[in-house]
Structure formats: C-alpha cells, structure tokens
Structure 1
Amino acid sequence: MVLPGLWLLLLLLVGIRWLWGWWKLWNLHLPPLVPGFLHFLQPNLPVYLLGLTRKFGPIYRIRMGLQAVVVLNSNRTIKEALIKKWVDFAGRPPIPYEKLDLDLSLGDYSSTWRTHKKLSRSALMLGMRGSMEPLVEQLTQEFCERMRAQAGTPVDIHKEFSFLTCSIICCLTFGVKDDTLVHTIHNCVQDLMQAWNHWSVQILDIIPFLRFLPNPGLRKLKRFQENRDHIVKQQLKQHKDNLVAGQWNDMIDYMLQGMEQLREDKGAGQIHEGHVHMSVVDLFIGGTETTATTLSWAVAFLLHHPEIQKRLQEELDLKLDPCDPSSQILYKNRMQLPLLMATIAEVLRLRPAVPLALPHRTTRASSIFGYDIPKDTVIIPNIQSANMDEMVWKLPSQFWPDRFLEPGKSPRTLSFGCGARVCLGEPLAQLELFVILAHLLQAFTLLPPPDGTLPSLKPQNYAGVNLLIHPFQVRLQPRNLVPQDQGQNP
C-alpha cells in the first residue's frame, strides 16, 4: 500500500508543478510555439530553424523534450537580446553531464564568472600580446614546409589544420613546443569532441533523466574528461613549481599570478586554481577544431571558386614575395589585403563554426520585440540564420567575398557571438585565419586531387555544437614550381 501511495503522491506533485507553470504563463504574450517534439533530430538543424521563420517569424518557441526553448533567427532579435538586454540573457542553462561551476564557456553568469572572464581575457590579450603573432607566424611557416615536402600529393587538409591549431594553443598555454605533448593533447581533444557529439550524450539535453540509466557513451565521455584533467593538472603542477613572480612565459604563468592579484580585490568574485584549469580546457576545446574547421571551409570554397583564389594570390603578390616564405604583413596592417579579409569574413558568415552558439538562459523576466520571455527560459541564438538574414545580406546564400568590399560600412557577422558571452578567443582565431591563409596562398596553389573531385559544400548532419565539414583532400602545388599537370614545353 505504501509504494502505490508514493507513486500517487509523486504524480500529484508533478501535476501541481505543471499546472503552476501553465498558470504563470497564461497571461503572458509568448512567442509562437511550433508544433512537434522532434525538431532537434533534423539533419541540418540551423537551416531547418531558419526555414521555420517563413511561417512563425524570426522569434518562436520549439520543444526540446518537455521544455519549450526560444529560438532567435535574425540579426535584430539576437542583438536586442544579447547586446541591448545582455544582463537579462547572460545566463547558461544547466547541463546534466557537466560540472559547470568552474567553466567559463558553459558556467552561469555571476560575479565569480565575471572575474574568471577578466582573468582569461587578460591572459590572452595582455599576457600573450607581444608573443602571439610571432608564434603563429613561426608555426605556420613550419606547417608550410611540411606541406611543401608533400607537394602535389593529396592531403587531408583538415587533419593538418587541426594539428597546427592545437600546436598554437599548446605553445600559448604551456609555453613549449613538444610534439609528443601536442599529439597527446590533440588526441584528447578529438576523443572528447567525438564523445560529446555522440547521440547518447546529446539526447541528455532533451531528456535529462536518462542520465540515471546505464549509458556507455556518457561513461566514455567521463573517462576522456578524466584523462583531459590529468594532463592539465600535470602542466599546472610544473608551472607552479617553476613560477617566478613578475615573469611569465605562457598563459598559465600569467593566470596563476593574476589569480593571486585578483584574490586581493574585495569586489571581485573569488577564483582559484580550478578556474585556471578550466580556462585551459576551454582554450583547447574551443580553439582547436573551430579554427581548423573554418580554415577547411575556406579551402573548400576556394577550390570551388578558383577565380577568387587567383585574385587572392595576385593581391598577395603585390605585398609579399611568393618565393620568400618569410615575407609577411603584420596583422595590424591586415587591411592592406582587403580581399583576404573579405574572404575570411565571408567564410565565417556562411559557415560559422558554432552555428547555434551555446544556449543562453534568462536571468530574469524580460522581453524581445514585444514578446514576454520568462525567467530561466533557454534561448538559442541561430547565428547561421542571422548571417543569412535577407534584411541584412544581399544574395545571402552565395559565396561572394566582394560584398565586404562594397563602398559604405559592411555589416558585421555574428559568427563569434556578441554581448557578454562573445567568444573570448575571437582575436586569436582571426589572427590565425589571416596568417595561415596568407602563408598558404602565398606559397601554394590549391588544387583538387587528380580525379578532380571537389569537396562538398554541404555540412555534415548537425550534431552537438560544431558545424562539421565532410572530409576531403587537396593538392598543394608550390607556386614557385611549374605545375605538373601543365606538362613539358614542346
């Protein structure tokens, strides 16, 4: 008799909670609700969500499991929420398989989070300001030399980019270029991304109570997280043992010393070594595959548009010597290469690495364009949809870098987010994209493999966070050599 009674009590409590939630929403003017429960199973989710705007407008609700989330699909709605009313929308929803109290990217908004963000931004922009560009230049030149040794042979360019971006993060964070360590970190990041994007983990966002059931995918993810944390803890220990006050060689040195200074600030949230640990994790998870994928999309688009590649090389040849890999333009003078900057902007517009950003949560009741948004509502900014907003972009689905060269002020893409939660790694990513593509196009002509197969410009089915490109190969033909496929002179 006791057990049935407990079940009836549980059902009664669930029913009361549901009725209470329904009653609170009764008098609110909410965004329209799209019928259905399986929207998140769509293979190209960002584009699917964009398509719903034709019927429901740029802001609507869809169900994620039993919870309704609000989707923002235009420049105006995203900017109103994340810039104009950023305090209301700066929160993060809980994730059932992560401990988020120390996480910068996924952690909730608080005074401690603001202090953590200040420390991480300072380490990236001040601590590494003088060494960042020379380091990216050096590693990119070494990358080009490796590619020159494989001249004319089809290569999996995404794997090469992924290792390069991981090497850059390793040097900035740990201060050493150790190929063994880079391989270890790179493998760890790949394992984590694959486990995180697996359906058995992703479904927990929709049906959270499934985390209490046996889940091999979740166990694998936790095992990879433990391995990740072990690597970072080793590096933190080494840095603490060798720390010299007032000196730093990398971001960990800077953050460990900055942490002590912030502790003396009574107005700052209290942070400790665990926050430094998670800053390192965020740099690797957020700064390796995202930049490598954007570089891969750039190569794919240029293989489809050889006329733009030719124009880029002509622009580079006016400023750089194609036979001298050491010649360069400093990033501060990047507008001397306007077409390259426009091409980077166009790739970011069409293929943002994180097309649905990371979900936000309202910290208090608010509104967007006349719709009421209750406290603790999950908000999904559809960045890819905003980047294809016909009210902002002419011919939005076409790859057309020249749109950023037209007279007048060009609109800015939202590919790195905006507001309080804008990607902290944007300056580093923009620097990497500029330096790597400039050196690559200065030294090589990008050609398809011998069978002429061009890469697919359609993304892989959307799962997880990143917008992935289908694997493809490219030939890197050195520009100071006669291409083999032109044959010999008669």
Structure 2
Amino acid sequence: MLFSGLLLLLLLALLAAARLLWRLWALRTLHLPPLVPGFLHLLQPNLPIYLFDLSQKFGPVYRLRLGLQEVVVLNSKRAIEEAMVKKWVDFAGRPQTTSFKLVSPDNQDLSVGDYSPLWRAHKKLARSALLLGIRSSMESLVQEVTQEFCDRMSAQAGAPVAVHKEFSLLTCTIICHLTFGDKEDSLVRAFHDCIQDLLSTWDHWSIHILDVVPFLRFFPNPVLWRLKRALERRDRMVREQLRQHKDSLVASRCRDMTDYMLHGMKRQVSEEGSEGQLLEGHVHMAMVDLFIGGTETTATTLSWAVVYLLHHPEMQRQLQEELDRELGPSASNSRVKYKDRARLPLLNATIAEVLRLRCSVPLALPHRTTRSSSILGYDIPKDTVVIPNLLGAHLDETVWARPQDFWPQRFLEPGACPRELAFGCGARVCLGEPLARLELFVVLAQLLRAFTLLPAHGALPSLQPRPPGGVTLGVQPFHVRLLRRRPEPEERA
C-alpha cells in the first residue's frame, strides 16, 4: 500500500513537471510579466502586504509560483481596472480549483463559478432578486434590525461587549430575512453557526494548500473531513428552506429573494433566446453566496470601523457632531435614512477609508483569463490565474497620499478622489455591494448617534489583522464599551 502511494505521488510529480516544461516552451516568445523567484510565497505571514512589497521591486504586474501553480498578481489600481473593467471579458473566468469544487461541486455557484452564458443568466436573476425583488423592504429591514441591535447594546451600556459577534448576528439576521423571509432567532443562530464553521474551516491552510498542491487531497486530512461535514450541514439547511418555499409558493407573489428566484427560474424555462437552463441548484447556491458573502465580510468591516474610531476619538467626536447637526439628537424611535447620506460627507468618507485600509477580502477571489490578453503591455496567456491585490491597490502611493494613514478627509478634498475597490470591479463585482453599503451607513450612523465608543479596560484593540491563514483580513478579538450619549426618558426623570 505504501509503495503504491509513493508510486502515485511520483507519477503525479512527473506529470506536473512535464506540464510546466511544456508551458514554458509554449510561452517562450511572449512578453510576460517578470517572474519572482521562489515558490514558498504562501508561507508569508501577511500575504497581501508581502505581495504589495514585491511590487516595489518587480512592478505592479508580476508572476510568481504558489506551489506548483504560476499566477499573475496585479498590485495597482490601474492594472486591476484595466483587467477587470476595460477588458472584463478576458478576465471574467474562475479557475476551477480543488477548494472551489468542494464548495460548489456542480459549478452552480456565482462567486466561484466559471464564466459562461449560464453564469450571466444566473447573476442577472440573483441581482434582480436583490435590487428589484426586495428593494422596497430592504432599507426598512436594515433600520429595524439595527434598532434592535442598539436596544440590546443599550441594555449592556458601559459593560465590555464583544461587538464583532454582535455585528455578525446582526448581518446574519438581515440576510435570513431578505433570503427566507424569516429572522427567527433560532434560524439566525443556526445559520450563523454554520457559516462560522464553514469559514473557519475553509480558511485553514490545509484546505488552501490543496489548490497549489492538488494531489495532497489523496492524503488523510481531518480539516477536509470537517469541511465536508460543514458543507453537508449547509446544503441540508438550505434545501429545507427551498422545500418550504416551493410548498407555499404563490404565483405573482414574492415574499423574499427565494420566492423571486424560484419564479424567475420558472419564467426562464419558457423564454426564447435563453442563455442556458437555470436549475434549482443555482437558486440554492445563490442563497449560499448571500450568506457567505454577506454576513462575515460586512461584520468585519463594521468591526474595523469601531477599532479605528477607538484609536481616533477626535474623528468619532467629529462624526457625532455631524450627525447631531444634520439629523438632530437621537431618540429611541428615530431611524437613519439612506437618503440622508448626502448630508453626512464625513461619515461617507470614514466608511470609504475603512474599506480602503481594511477591505475584508484583500486578494478578492482569483480570476482566470478566458482568452489571451494583456495588462500594462505584458502578455497574459489564456487560462492564466490572476490575483487582484486590492489592498495593494489601496496602498499605491501614485494614487493615494499618505496611503498607510487613517485619513478620511482624503475623500473630502476638492477634485475627483479615487474610489476604493473593496468590493472588486467589473463583471465579478460583489453582488451584495448595494446591501453592504446600506448596512455600513445605517449601522454606523445609528451606533454613533446613540453611543460613545470607549476601549474596554483602557486597552486599545490591535490595528493589526488577525494572524492570516486564508483569504480574509479579520480583526483580532476585542471588546468595546458603549456609553449612551443621552439617558433614556425614564432615567432623566
């Protein structure tokens, strides 16, 4: 048995080496980006910053090897926008890696699914469900859930609070209601626990190493087994919600996004000129995308905003002055409206600055070229894996003054200020960006109107990300004290 395993390992290594040599021979006449030496780059403790630092020597576009796989890294705003916006068709693909196939075995996922006419139809339906199907209820729901969150925080006023978990439950509640029309606490917590288990497992190095050394999937891997169990739990929960929706579906009535997509799937069957047949699995995976992409990322951004405001109390004070001046003192039943954002430029600038410095997925998800193309004069062959380093683009000194500093006022200066790329750009831009921006604005505005944020036990939380092990830029665990800015009426009496 051991001999057979070693023989298989040797054969796979020889095949990989032969493939690499053939690729090098085929690419010998092209003007390729410079190649960074080495192949152990994944071992770097802070990969986005490491990749950005390499651009100081090799330029904004370069190649490097991640294990057995060669990738092209984009480290400037100009390079990313040329690829993802100007030449979006060329760079709209997704590599079908081992980890992607695990989370979406039938390629029916929007985030990790490969580019195709069917993918376009899938994205169109999901986007319509988010922006049209629930548009009338989205803002009122965010306001309602945010008020419930502030009421819970008011009950704990002055005590140390692990606010990241509270933000995570808040965003999960919003997604549960928009997706399934239900924000029952038991359902929210069940999905929240499932998402946390999935993300922590998928972010583990022993899963990501499978993408660069695929043959390791044949070896025992306890984390891989745990991931498969978490995926089974995820699919079981979503299937149950789909079953309930199909059993109670009423024509011409949309209670939530699931209803909207089920109706859309049926309409698409009879439409002429359809770009492909959408199946129930596509609705299933769109729901999964909303939970995975719309819960922890927004909660993490909100947590980073709190961390930066704890480090910059003068900015917190200025934001509260702006809110009081433009919206008046907060009352227990007052709600911040999204249309008020035009009157709150400093709050908008602060959100943009947090997204610039701490975009929650700094390396986005890898792209794949659907055909041969070029970036900044370099040839990029078909089927090349391309990594957009969003954090690197946000630290580019040719675009941003004092790029390492937390300075929201940069977005208030006269002239056209660049837009951050925290949600990506082009065809693969984050589907939930409109919802996320609504949540960030409403939650932070309501939080700062109601409370003053203070460090717990006098200790400021770390500005350094959680020790990275995957694709997210997580905040290190911390507590915050929330002091009510104005006593409740019964307390004043």
State the TM bucket, normalised to the shorter chain. over 0.9
Per the alignment, residue 58 of structure 2 pairs with: 56
Following superposition of structure 1 onto structure 2, how do residues 291-302 of structure 1 map, counting pairs within 5 Å? 291-302=298-309
User: Which digits, 9 at most, give the CA deviation of each residue in 1:349-381, with x for residues without a partner?
Assistant: 000011000000001111111111111100000
Gaps of 5+ in 1: 483-490
Per the alignment, residue 332 of structure 1 pairs with: 339
Please tell me whether the aligned partners of residues 114 and 269 of structure 1 are also in contact (alpha carbons under 8 angstroms).
Answer: no
2:422 is the counterpart of 1:415: yes
User: Which digits, 9 at most, give the CA deviation of each residue in 1:273-325, with x for residues without a partner?
Assistant: 10000000000000000000000000000000000000000111113343413
Cα 1:137/1:26, change in 2 over 3 Å: same
Per the alignment, residue 361 of structure 1 pairs with: 368
Q: What is the alpha-carbon distance in structure 2 between the residues aligned to residue 35 and residue 396 of structure 1?
A: 28
2:115 is the counterpart of 1:113: no
Cα 1:52/1:396, change in 2 over 3 Å: same
Which amino acid is the alignment partner of residue 366 of structure 1?
S
Shift in Å, 1:334: 1.1
Which amino acid is the alignment partner of residue 152 of structure 1?
G
**TM-score calculated relative to the size of structure 1:** 0.95
Per the alignment, residue 400 of structure 1 pairs with: 407
Q: Secondary structure at the match of 2:263?
A: helix
Shift in Å, 1:17: 3.6
Identity score, percent: 65
Q: What is the alpha-carbon distance in structure 2 between the residues aligned to residue 121 and residue 283 of structure 1?
A: 11
Which amino acid is the alignment partner of residue 416 of structure 2?
K
Shift in Å, 1:481: 3.6
Please tell me whether the aligned partners of residues 100 and 106 of structure 1 are also in contact (alpha carbons under 8 angstroms).
Answer: no
Q: What is the alpha-carbon distance in structure 2 between the residues aligned to residue 32 and residue 423 of structure 1?
A: 30
Please tell me whether the aligned partners of residues 100 and 108 of structure 1 are also in contact (alpha carbons under 8 angstroms).
Answer: no
Q: What is the alpha-carbon distance in structure 2 between the residues aligned to residue 306 and residue 5 of structure 1?
A: 62
Please tell me whether the aligned partners of residues 287 and 425 of structure 1 are also in contact (alpha carbons under 8 angstroms).
Answer: yes
Shift in Å, 1:264: 2.1
User: Which digits, 9 at most, give the CA deviation of each residue in 1:374-420, with x for residues without a partner?
Assistant: 11100000000101111111111000011111112211011100000
2:187 is the counterpart of 1:185: no
Per the alignment, residue 435 of structure 2 pairs with: 428
Per the alignment, residue 165 of structure 1 pairs with: 171
Cα 1:406/1:275, change in 2 over 3 Å: same
Q: Secondary structure at the match of 1:367?
A: strand
Per the alignment, residue 235 of structure 1 pairs with: 241
User: Which digits, 9 at most, give the CA deviation of each residue in 1:14-38, with x for residues without a partner?
Assistant: 6654432221011111111111111
User: Which digits, 9 at most, give the CA deviation of each residue in 1:85-106, with x for residues without a partner?
Assistant: 1111000001214225101000
Q: Secondary structure at the match of 1:130?
A: helix
Choose the corresponding residue for 1:80, options 79, 82, 103: 82
2:375 is the counterpart of 1:373: no
Which amino acid is the alignment partner of residue 267 of structure 1?
S
Per the alignment, residue 349 of structure 1 pairs with: 356
Q: Secondary structure at the match of 1:70?
A: strand
Per the alignment, residue 305 of structure 1 pairs with: 312
Cα 1:346/1:100, change in 2 over 3 Å: farther
Which amino acid is the alignment partner of residue 71 of structure 1?
V
Please tell me whether the aligned partners of residues 94 and 100 of structure 1 are also in contact (alpha carbons under 8 angstroms).
Answer: no
Aligned residues: 479
Per the alignment, residue 133 of structure 1 pairs with: 139
Per the alignment, residue 491 of structure 2 pairs with: none
Choose the corresponding residue for 2:398, options 359, 367, 391: 391
Cα 1:478/1:33, change in 2 over 3 Å: same
Per the alignment, residue 91 of structure 1 pairs with: 93
Gaps of 5+ in 2: 489-493
Shift in Å, 1:8: 10
Q: What is the alpha-carbon distance in structure 2 between the residues aligned to residue 176 and residue 143 of structure 1?
A: 17
Which amino acid is the alignment partner of residue 37 of structure 1?
F
Q: What is the alpha-carbon distance in structure 1 between the residues aligned to residue 458 and residue 404 of structure 2?
A: 25
Per the alignment, residue 251 of structure 1 pairs with: 257
Which amino acid is the alignment partner of residue 29 of structure 2?
N
Shift in Å, 1:463: 2.0
Cα 1:10/1:278, change in 2 over 3 Å: closer
Per the alignment, residue 221 of structure 1 pairs with: 227
Shift in Å, 1:9: 8.8
Shift in Å, 1:83: 0.7
**TM-score calculated relative to the size of structure 2:** 0.94
Q: Secondary structure at the match of 2:420?
A: coil
Shift in Å, 1:262: 1.7
Shift in Å, 1:7: 10
- What is the aligned-residue RMSD (CA, Å)? 1.8
Shift in Å, 1:428: 0.2
Q: Secondary structure at the match of 1:184?
A: helix
